[in-house]
Structure 1
Amino acid sequence: MPDHSAGPGHPRPAPSGRHGKSAKRFLDRLVRDTVRTLTPPTSPQVFLHALCATLGPQVDRPVRLKFVAFPPGLGLSGLTLARDEEYIVVVEERAPDPHKFVITGHEIGHIHYGTLDVHHPAGLPAAARRLLARPEEEIPWERVVTLAARSSADAAAAAEWAAEECGLRLAAKFSKVVGPGAAGRMTQDTLIDRLSSSLGNIGGP
């Protein structure tokens, strides 16, 4: 995804029709299902790892999250590496926590809509695939990120806006799942109730 230096509040055109409605239903359900697997209080990183793990059974392969320091000058802060056996969502580890929600939501939006090919129509570059074939501890993630860096100028605008809405909707839930309102001695059932009561007011219709 492009680097959203302006943060979650930066205005963008809203996706229309099917994408807009699907994004809300998709994120509402995914967050509810993820919350049920966790015991609050939960850190942002733990929640996002759990979110991707929850998504896996709903798509065609497992979804794994990786936090990596992106090389400077790439102009992006997240990408998804589609392998035969899994998706790897890679997120800039130095981004502020609410921004990590935007980035992760954008990438899982592409997975949900099946629009990863707007960036790599022929799949990941061969050099990146070779690096990913190494054992996990030997993968040079900075090189992989550089090789797989995507050009937003080549992407389909509708697919980008739809994925971005997923990112913004997920960020809007930040305070409910990991922020101050979710901390303390709150029970799992209470957290689910608070999410359920607020979902209708998050991110519009």
Structure 2
Amino acid sequence: MSPRRSPKRFLAQLVRDTARTLEPPTDPESFLHALCVTLSPTLDRPVRLRFVAFPPGLDVSGITLAKDDEYIVVVEERASGAHKFVIAGHEIGHIHYGTLDVHYQAGTPAAARRLLARADEDVPWDRVVALATRSPAAPAAQAEWEAEECGLRLAAKFRRVVGPYAATGRPSQDTLTDRLSSSLGNIGGP
């Protein structure tokens, strides 16, 4: 994968290829898991996705852990579906551009690596996230912008791939009513 490749084309192709593997409608988490499966063969190692409740006090909602044999993208499980797309897209953007070291120049801290060495069902993911995000270096503005652009571009595809009319390609009456109600300020419904 070329690091110069346009995030627009990269994500459009990735989403198209992923959508072909799923029967719509699907939920955000299932789509993002399938997206990582689709992405994996194009990289130097597979991408695994985890949804975890991040510990209180952290100012991050996503992190990518680069192990020797896989990338682990960890996303805040309490985020809304559309925000999960932003978070996962941001982390995938760092993988795409090769900028994972922008926050963690020394790699994953040793304590987090030890926890990740456990069997998957025994990994205390909240502790791993806390340890891996404890002492980030100052982020590089360009790398963060590129990653955030990937996150926003992936989120822009949310309604088409997991929204209420993903299967039909056009909005239902209920979808239109909900969108109109929301735009008029009635968040709770019509």
- TM-score band by shorter chain is 0.7 to 0.9
Overall identity of the aligned pairs, in %: 73
For 1:86, the aligned partner's letter is E
Deviation at 1:119, TM superposition (A): 1.2
Count of residues in Structure 1 that have an aligned counterpart in Structure 2: 168
* Structure 1 gaps, min length 5: 1-17, 192-205
- The Cα offsets for residues 42-100 of structure 1, whole Å up to 9 and x where unpaired, read as 11110000001111111110001000000011001000011011000000000011000
1:124 matched to which residue of 2? 108
Structure 2 length normalisation: TM-score? 0.84
1:48 alignment partner, one of 16, 28, 32:
32
RMSD (Å) for aligned C-alpha atoms: 1.7
1:108 matched to which residue of 2? 92
Q: Match of 1:182, SS?
A: coil
- 2:24 & 2:163 partners in 1: Cα distance? 10
Deviation at 1:122, TM superposition (A): 2.1
1:34 matched to 2:40: no
CA contact (8 A) 1:119 1:150 kept: no
Task: Name the CA shift for 1:153/1:86 in 2 (closer, same or farther; >3 Å).
Answer: closer
Structure 1 length normalisation: TM-score? 0.78
2:161 alignment partner, one of 164, 177, 184:
177
Deviation at 1:150, TM superposition (A): 6.0
- 1:118 & 1:97 partners in 2: Cα distance? 26
- 2:37 & 2:141 partners in 1: Cα distance? 28
Whose relative contact order is higher, 1 or 2, with alpha carbons under 8 Å and at least 6 apart?
A: 1
- 1:152 & 1:47 partners in 2: Cα distance? 30
Task: Name the CA shift for 1:85/1:24 in 2 (closer, same or farther; >3 Å).
Answer: same
- 2:16 & 2:47 partners in 1: Cα distance? 17
Bigger Rg over Cα? 2
1:56-95 correspondence runs (5 A): 56-95=40-79
- The Cα offsets for residues 100-139 of structure 1, whole Å up to 9 and x where unpaired, read as 0000000000001100011112211111101000111111
* Structure 2 gaps, min length 5: 171-190
